[in-house]
Amino acid sequence: MIHLFIEWCRNHQLDPHTVYHLAYPEQEKNSLLTEILEEVDQQAPLNIPDHTLLEVLQYFGNDELAFVIVDLIEKWSKQ
């Protein structure tokens, strides 16, 4: 799930830590996110469709993060 989230952020030139912090502002920096981000940065990017990420986030109960992603997608569609 984290890998897909990171790839989606890379697809949209977003910092995963910044987006994650929008959903969970009270949490410390996510060390697992940092660890996986370092691994992913060394790999070729994957194209992750919006709906795929949203389904995975909701499946794993990351509703707050899914809401942030929906807000970002809606903002882009209005531009």
Of 65, 64, 67, residue with least CA distance to 4: 65
∠ Cα 6 72 78 (to 5°): 140
5 has pLDDT over 90: yes
Query: In sequence order, what are the residues at sequence separation of 6 or more whose Cβ sits closer than 8 angstroms to the Cβ of residue 50?
Result: 8, 69, 73
At 7-17, the pLDDT tens digits run 999 999 999 99
72 has pLDDT over 90: yes
At 26-61, the pLDDT tens digits run 998 889 999 999 998 888 889 999 999 999 999 999
pLDDT for the residue numbered 40: 87
Residue spans of the domains in the chain: they are 2-78
